[in-house]
Structure 1
Amino acid sequence: MARHWGHRVSMSTTARILDDAGLLLKADYQRERRQLAQQRKAAFAKTPTGPNMVWQFDFSEYETAAGGTWRVAGIADYWSKYEFGWHWSPTANQHDAIAAVQLALTEAAHLLPEGLDLLEYLTDPDTGEVVPITLVTDNGGPFRSARFAAFIEATAELDHVRTRVRTPGQNGVRERAFQSLKYERLYREQIDDMHDLLAHGEDFRAEFNTVRPHEALSRNRPREVHLRLADPSSPNFPEPENLPRT
């Protein structure tokens, strides 16, 4: 017997109290960690050589001058640094996570050549096997939810991998782009409400994708690289007005 706040309690009661508070490791904790480590290793064992091979996904938040706090869910392509459409919401839950992924899937399909859908694009022409996009997230609640897992399971275009705990660098492309949004745009402007936030956020995304050269892409722009109009390993600097429209 042990004592808890002066009361004698059994070891089983103590274990139940700790479990209810989420302070006990589950029996399969180490096995789950090994499985996640294997998935991470497999995801990055081969460096992506094109768009829609690895996506990085996370949430960020911003407080407007009027006091409202809004969350943005965004997905970035690891290879091209292209920013897919952002999902803004007062919440950051499993429903918002799913909505952001659906937004990215729709835009990724829209950027493909006419007549080609995303699933067809991801299918190996020789084997007929679908090579899904690796969607990388951290270990936040929305990404560990059963609903999000079921959504990924039902989406043949995606395979979900979570980063190690407290290692934001493994999701670095996503983290850096959100920092750029805040320090280069939002923190420099007067953002009064949600309408201002949406406008500034979308202006920045368009500028990031099509106007501003990206150092990691040898001064190319993300949209050029994503559409394979430029080689990210060599300088190629077309003017924005000369980019094809899709």
Structure 2
Amino acid sequence: MIVRAVRDQHLTPTQAAARYRVSRQWVYELLKRYDREGPAGLVPRSRAPRHRPGTTPAVITDRIIALRRQLTAEGKDAGPATIGWHLHREGLQVPAASTIRRILHAAGLITPEPRKRPRSSYIRFEADLPNECWQADITHWYLAHGDRVEILDFLDDHSRFLLHISTQNAYTGTDVVTVMNALINQYGAPSSTLTDNGMVFTTRLTARNAGRNGFEKLLEAHHITQKNGSPGHPQTQGKIERFHQTLKRWLRARPRPTTIEDLQAHLNDFRTWYNTDRPHRSLGRRTPCQAYTALAKAHPQTTTEPEWRTRTDRIDNHGKVSLRYAGRLRHLGMGRANIGQPVLMLIHDHDVITTHAETGTIIATHHIDDTRDYQPPDKNTPTTREPPEKQ
């Protein structure tokens, strides 16, 4: 209409601009287009720039999408920061994390999730040195035929280095002690441990006075500080709980194993990948192995509290009483002359003094040998004399 007003109605460009409320420059531009291209020159055109120097190259966009699909299929971390780390390792241009996220959204590769609690609301703690604190826990997995098995893992709090991961049908306190002993021999004793309140780790919440279990006794022997989370508050062991998410996502991406041996093979592969090939956000995109070997190791710095407790019992028909020590029942010899007598046992770490519960007379003393079930009395105790008469 503007061109016809100038050419057919003989308005000046100034008059046409005033009538249609546009600028004179725009009127002249329309006239040039009409003279050069005819009516086709008046068709509305895109206002987008011809060149976009900030646009992510197509090869980078395709690689981002391919990495997302590949890492997700393998059960590995596939967030924008992790994808950026892989691009950098491949020598490619690394867009901002927000750009990678927009590319993933545009490709429909991000599933919206409910709003989560903001990271800033969490109280975060981290050990300053490797071996300053080891976290341990037991989780479970299912084999192909539906059998439920347990997985035991130890994680260094500072570096997230996976010290140990293994599986079997069920773990006992003795199994945990065996693993902990092997880790101490390999990596040195940590300054402290952090676990939940499972019976294999602590007896502090048991109703009966069972004494310290094998794991607690082992920590005591190495002067390792034991820390336990509050019941019903797994956030205290947040690192290893979050680690289990990574572990199970990795396992779900693989065929479900039919035997424990097959599952252990998967766990061995996972440990290698997790420690040496997985960048960790909280470690500045370093791997746990790099973080664990970067600093000197911490050592136990405190002395543990000695164990004091008492136990009442009656000497059985074989001249013995039972005592749970380091998670196992021990049988303490008292002598057949004292069969049936009520006793009070005073336990101080490895030493046990047994007295007659009514008269206070010492019946026997023992120094517990961890390697034995039956504990003979010390030679200097009067276990063969006649039982004291009741008052």
Bucket of the pairwise TM-score, normalised by the shorter protein: 0.5 to 0.7
Is 1:176 equivalent to 2:242 in the alignment? Answer: yes
Is 1:143 equivalent to 2:201 in the alignment? Answer: yes
Pairs within 5 Å for 1:64-103: 64-103=143-182
Letter in 2 for 1:100: V
Residue in 1 that maps onto 2:47: none
Residue in 1 that maps onto 2:5: none
RMSD: 2.1
What secondary structure, in the 3-state scheme, does the structure 2 residue paired with 1:86 have? Answer: strand
Pairs within 5 Å for 1:154-169: 154-156=221-223, 158-169=224-235
Do 2:126 and 2:157's aligned partners in 1 also have CA atoms closer than 8 Å?
Answer: no
Residue in 2 that maps onto 1:221: 287
Q: 50, 53, 56: which is aligned to 2:135?
A: 56
Do 2:150 and 2:168's aligned partners in 1 also have CA atoms closer than 8 Å?
Answer: yes
What secondary structure, in the 3-state scheme, does the structure 2 residue paired with 1:185 have? Answer: helix
Alpha-carbon distance between aligned partners in 2 of 1:181 and 1:212, rounded to the nearest angstrom: 12
Residue in 2 that maps onto 1:233: none
Report Cα offsets for 1:67-123 as digits up to 9, x if no partner.
332211111001100001223221122112212322322332xxxxxxxxx36xxxx
Pairs within 5 Å for 1:186-205: 186=252, 188-205=254-271
Report Cα offsets for 1:16-63 as digits up to 9, x if no partner.
xxxxxxxxxxxxxxxxxxxxxxxxxxxxxx952210101111101111
Do 1:80 and 1:225's aligned partners in 2 also have CA atoms closer than 8 Å?
Answer: yes
Do 1:82 and 1:222's aligned partners in 2 also have CA atoms closer than 8 Å?
Answer: yes
Letter in 2 for 1:78: D
Do 1:85 and 1:103's aligned partners in 2 also have CA atoms closer than 8 Å?
Answer: no
Bigger Rg, which one: 2
What secondary structure, in the 3-state scheme, does the structure 2 residue paired with 1:160 have? Answer: strand
Residue in 1 that maps onto 2:220: 153
Q: Do the aligned partners of residues 87 and 100 (structure 1) sit closer, same or farther apart at CA in structure 2, a change above 3 Å counting? A: farther
1:187: Cα distance to partner? 5.3
Unaligned 5+ residue runs, structure 1?
Answer: 1-45, 109-117, 120-131, 230-246
Report Cα offsets for 1:160-183 as digits up to 9, x if no partner.
111111111111111111221111
What secondary structure, in the 3-state scheme, does the structure 1 residue paired with 2:200 have? Answer: helix
Alpha-carbon distance between aligned partners in 2 of 1:165 and 1:55, rounded to the nearest angstrom: 19
Higher helix share: 1
Q: Do the aligned partners of residues 47 and 182 (structure 1) sit closer, same or farther apart at CA in structure 2, a change above 3 Å counting? A: closer
Do 1:135 and 1:159's aligned partners in 2 also have CA atoms closer than 8 Å?
Answer: yes
Residue in 1 that maps onto 2:372: none
Do 1:97 and 1:148's aligned partners in 2 also have CA atoms closer than 8 Å?
Answer: yes
Q: Do the aligned partners of residues 207 and 47 (structure 1) sit closer, same or farther apart at CA in structure 2, a change above 3 Å counting? A: closer
Do 1:85 and 1:107's aligned partners in 2 also have CA atoms closer than 8 Å?
Answer: no
Letter in 1 for 2:227: V
Alpha-carbon distance between aligned partners in 2 of 1:76 and 1:197, rounded to the nearest angstrom: 19
Give identity over the alignment, percent: 27
User: Could you say which structure has the greater relative contact order, defined with CA pairs below 8 angstroms and 6 or more residues apart?
Assistant: 1
Number of residue equivalences = 163
Report Cα offsets for 1:213-235 as digits up to 9, x if no partner.
11111110000010008xxxxxx
Residue in 1 that maps onto 2:352: none
Alpha-carbon distance between aligned partners in 1 of 2:137 and 2:126, rounded to the nearest angstrom: 21
What secondary structure, in the 3-state scheme, does the structure 1 residue paired with 2:167 have? Answer: strand
Alpha-carbon distance between aligned partners in 2 of 1:188 and 1:49, rounded to the nearest angstrom: 35
Letter in 2 for 1:183: R
Q: Do the aligned partners of residues 133 and 65 (structure 1) sit closer, same or farther apart at CA in structure 2, a change above 3 Å counting? A: same
Alpha-carbon distance between aligned partners in 1 of 2:166 and 2:220, rounded to the nearest angstrom: 21
Q: Do the aligned partners of residues 87 and 190 (structure 1) sit closer, same or farther apart at CA in structure 2, a change above 3 Å counting? A: closer
Residue in 2 that maps onto 1:8: none
Alpha-carbon distance between aligned partners in 2 of 1:215 and 1:186, rounded to the nearest angstrom: 22
